[in-house]
Amino acid sequence: MKKILISSIASLLFCGALQAADMKELVVKTSPEMHCQRCENKIKSNIRFVKGTKKINTDLKSQEVSISYDAEKSTVADFEAAFKKIGYNIKVVSNKPIEKK
């Protein structure tokens, strides 16, 4: 029984490590631009539903939205479609892998 439990835990840890392997950070600029807290909230509350989204940060000053996501579960096209649904077009600034810690 102990061996089964230990091998199950090891398998779960291994699978967890594999899932975290393809994390990316997508940085985009929106059109129209974000002007206020309401714009930021609209983006955060809707884009979070894109599969694989882990974290969203908005910055009014730089007019950028940063999204940490699992690239095995979603693509840039998924985010483009989600932004379009709420009235925004996006321009990709960067889309790079997140280094494992």
Domain range list for the chain: 22-96
Give the Cβ contact number of residue 33 at 10 Å: 10
* Nearest-angstrom CA–CA distance, 22 and 1: 34
29 — pLDDT class (breaks 50, 70, 90): very high
In CATH, the number for domain 22-96 is: 3.30.70.100
CA-based end-to-end distance of the chain: 33
Tell whether the model's pLDDT for residue 58 goes beyond 60. yes
The answer to whether residue 83 scores a pLDDT higher than 50 is yes
pTM (two decimals): 0.78
Residue 97: cis peptide before it, omega within 30 degrees of 0 = no
